Structure formats: C-alpha cells, structure tokens
Amino acid sequence: MTTITVAEVATAMQQAISEVIENMAFLEALPLSEPVEYAPDEAVFFTRLPIYKPYPAMVGLVMPQSMALKLAGSMMMRDFTMEEDEFEVMDVLSELANMLGGSLLTNLLPNLDAFELGLPECRVISDIEGGKEWENATPFPYELEGEVFLTTWSEGQ
C-alpha cells in the first residue's frame, strides 16, 4: 500500500479545499498556521466521510453553525436558518464532504482512476466539552470570511 505523509495530505487538502469551496461557494478559504479551538458550548457541524479504497481513511469537516449556514447559503444562493433548514444544511455539508474527499484523493493519488468512498455523516454537536470526535485526526485549519473551520484526516478507518 502507498504511504501518504501528513505533508502530502496538507498540500492535497489545500488544493481540494480551494477547488471545492471556490467552485461551489464562490469563496476563498485560506489555510491557517495556528490551531482552531471552539468554545465548549458552541454548536458545530461535524461531517465525516469514510474512504475505503485505495487508502482507508476518514476525511472530516468541522465548522461553527454560523459558518455552516453562511456556506450553505452561498452554495444554494438563499438564506438558511437552523430552525427551518437544519437538515438541508446537513445535506449541503455532506455533499461538500463528498466533493472534498474525491478532490483530495485525486490530488493525493493522481495515477489512480477509481476510489471507493462511504456515505458522509453530518450532525450538529452542541456541546463538545465531553471530547471532540475528531481529536485523534490530523486537523487542517482554514479561514473563510473571518471565521475558522477545520478539515481533518485520519488513516485506517
């Protein structure tokens, strides 16, 4: 099996984020060098996508509720609210995770033409004080219009 380094993932993730966010939401996501921490009581959307082949891994998106609403609104060209649109926002983020996973693998393994991805799972975590589900993953922080979000990568899922 091919060995993939964190540096390779970081480069491929930046390319994938640029492709997906710029093409789908018409926004520019900039990589950050400092870690991102969310307040324990801040609601965040956590979306993860399993990769089965050719390299077992898990790709994730972690973003505050306000950013998820803004991103979904930009992609769908309308306003979203949690009260009326929570599940549609989850659908948008799940599709975003699918596109991110495909783009990431294309950038990481350009000589392969087939991948096997699982179904994305998205949910709102309203209290991360008990532990972050992504804490064992490698985080890649980004800034998008003054707010921060994470992509994550963990191997062998």
Of 7, 19, 37, 14, nearest in space to 99 by CA = 19
Annotation: CATH topology of 6-32+44-155: Chemotaxis protein chec (3.40.1550)
The model carries a pTM of: 0.89
Average confidence (pLDDT) over 13-41: 90
Residue with tokens 């993860």: 48
- In this predicted structure, the answer to whether residue 131 has a pLDDT above a threshold of 80 is no
- CA-CA distances (angstroms) from residue 23 to 7, 20, 28, 81, 89? 24, 5, 9, 23, 18
- Of 50-54, 87-91, 132-136, the range with the lowest mean pLDDT is 132-136
Give the whole-angstrom CA distance, residue 95 versus residue 76.
12
Query: In the chain, what are the domain boundaries?
Result: 6-32+44-155
pLDDT number for residue 2:
65
- In this predicted structure, the answer to whether residue 61 has a pLDDT above a threshold of 60 is yes
pLDDT number for residue 111:
86
Cα Dmax for the chain: 46
Give the whole-angstrom CA distance, residue 84 versus residue 57.
33
Eight-class DSSP state of 130: G
Token pair listed for 114: 């087939």
Average confidence (pLDDT) over 42-63: 93
- In this predicted structure, the answer to whether residue 103 has a pLDDT above a threshold of 90 is yes
Average confidence (pLDDT) over 110-114: 83
Distance of CA 85 to the CA centre of its chain: 19
Angle at 157 between CA 150 and CA 103, to 5 degrees: 50
Instruction: State the distance between the two ends of the chain, measured CA to CA, in whole angstroms.
Output: 15
pLDDT number for residue 92:
93
Token pair listed for 79: 């306003």
Q: What value does the CA radius of gyration of the chain take, rounded to a whole number of Å?
A: 15
